[in-house]
Amino acid sequence: MEIDPVNVSEFQELAKQALPKMYYDYISGGAEDQFTLKENIEAFQRIMLRPRVLVDVSKIDMSTTLLGYDMSSPIMVAPTGAQKLAHPEGELVTAKAAAACNTIMVLSFSSSYTIEEVASTCNAIRFFQLYIFKRRDISAKLVQRAESNGFRAIVLTVDTPRLGRREADIKNKMIAPKISNLEGLLSLDVDAEGGSNLEAFASETLDPSLSWKDIGWIKSITNLPILVKGILTAEDATKAVEAGVSGIVVSNHGARQLDYAPATISVLEEVVKAVSGAVPVLFDGGVRRGTDVFKALALGAKAVMIGRPVVYGLAAKGEYGVRRVIEMLQNELELTMALAGCPSIKDITRNHIWTKHNRLRSLM
Identity at 15, one-letter amino acid code? A
Which residue positions form the known binding site? 26, 79-81, 108, 129, 131, 157, 166, 229, 251, 253, 256, 284-288, 307-308
Establish whether 352 is a catalytic residue. no
DSSP for 176-245? PPP-GGGTTTS------TTS-HHHHHHHHHB-TT--TTHHHHHHHT-SS-EEEEEE-SHHHHHHHHHTT-
DSSP 36: H
What separation in angstroms does the CA of 86 have from each of 77, 128, 253? 16, 20, 19
The backbone torsions φ and ψ at residue 4, rounded to the nearest 5 degrees and listed phi first, read -65, 145
Which residue among the candidates 87, 253, 352, 357 is catalytic per the annotation?
A: 253
Residue type, 68: G
Distances in Å between the Cα of 163 and the Cα atoms of 208, 256, 329 are 10, 8, 30
Round to whole Å and give the CA distance between 231 and 179.
26
Beta-carbon contacts of 277 under 8 Å, excluding residues fewer than 6 positions away, are: none
Q: Any bridge partners for residue 208, and if so which?
A: none
Say how far residue 359 (Cα) sits from the centre of its chain.
30
Residues marked as binding for glyoxylate?
Answer: 26, 131, 166, 253, 256
Distances (CA, A) of 328 to 27, 256, 322, 325: 21, 25, 10, 5
Q: Which residues are annotated as a binding site for FMN?
A: 79-81, 108, 129, 157, 229, 251, 284-288, 307-308
Active-site amino acid positions:
253
